[in-house]
């Protein structure tokens, strides 16, 4: 069965360190997204990609970057982790057409100390 | 700026009750309105979705009501069960040119008690 997996599931890092969260999907979807989930804010879009070599900034992109070198993977990098980036991060993928289902990973809980 | 406003933040109902979760949007270009259900420790999963050409959509015990003129939509859960206890998110996007980017509401934590 097709799926979308995130790793690690939990991570603790120190302020100022670079951190990369992995996202891998086997749906062969063109669209991939990174959201962060915080109480009182719901899910907010960080970055997204519509295909290989395509990346775009979302609503809360400061301090984050992504790269898309193949269809399956969209790693999210925190250049210099800050306590404000403590959150639960979700990766999602969908096919190219609008108005279709987005499939989410299980999430990565990141704590910056 | 919250483009999709959701209420209430939390909701407790008795088994068999009908919880109602409301959302309001600002961007009139939105034309796809999904609801996602999230259990603890899991990612959100699509529950039901509606497009503005209809005023109501039912799937099993879940119903979306849509009011285009008021820019509001709501989720009703009929005969609610303890297994429905989860966090529910409304969302909105543009079908054409929107790239399936979702704008989410802030979420509603639902607890269904026996």
> Quick check: B106 and A40 CB within 8 A?
yes
pLDDT digits (tens, 9 = 90+) for A45-55: 999 999 999 99
Instruction: Give B95's pLDDT tier (boundaries 50, 70, 90).
Output: confident
Closest-CA residue of chain A to B44? A104
Main-chain phi, psi angles of A83, to 5 degrees: -60, -30
| Distance, CA of A26 to CA of A73 (rounded, Å) | 9
Over residues B80-108, mean pLDDT: 93
* pLDDT surpassing 60 at residue B1: no
Closest-CA residue of chain A to B105? A42
Main-chain phi, psi angles of A111, to 5 degrees: -120, 125
Please name every residue paired with B108 in a beta bridge, in sequence order, or none if there are none: B88
Residue of B1, B47, B99, B104 to mutate, testing the A interface (most A Cβ within 10 Å of its Cβ)? B99
Over residues B61-78, mean pLDDT: 97
Instruction: Give B2's pLDDT tier (boundaries 50, 70, 90).
Output: low
Over residues B18-24, mean pLDDT: 98
* pLDDT surpassing 80 at residue B56: yes
Give the helix/strand (H/E) hosting B106.
Answer: none
- pLDDT, residue A95, reads 87
């Amino acid at each position: 069965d097709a799926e979308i997996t995130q790793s690690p599931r939990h991570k603790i890092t120190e302020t100022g360190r670079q951190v990369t969260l992995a996202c891998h999907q086997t749906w062969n979807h063109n669209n991939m997204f990174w959201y962060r989930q915080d109480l009182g804010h719901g899910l907010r879009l960080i970055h997204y990609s519509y295909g290989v070599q395509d990346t775009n900034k979302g609503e809360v992109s400061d301090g984050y970057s992504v790269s898309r070198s193949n269809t399956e993977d969209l790693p999210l990098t925190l250049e210099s982790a800050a306590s404000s980036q403590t959150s639960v991060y979700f990766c999602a993928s969908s096919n190219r057409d609008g108005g279709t289902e987005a499939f989410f990973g299980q999430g990565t809980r990141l704590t910056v100390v | 700026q919250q483009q999709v406003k959701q209420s209430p933040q939390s909701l407790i109902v008795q088994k068999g009750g009908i919880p109602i979760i409301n959302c309001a949007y600002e961007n009139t270009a939105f034309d796809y309105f999904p609801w996602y259900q999230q259990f603890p420790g899991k990612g959100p999963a699509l529950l039901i979705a509606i497009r503005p050409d209809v005023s109501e959509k039912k799937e099993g015990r879940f119903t979306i009501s849509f009011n285009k003129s008021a820019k509001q939509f709501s989720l009703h859960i009929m005969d609610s069960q303890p297994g429905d206890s989860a966090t529910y998110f409304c969302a909105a996007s543009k079908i054409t040119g929107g790239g399936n980017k979702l704008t989410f509401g802030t979420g509603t934590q639902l607890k269904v008690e026996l």
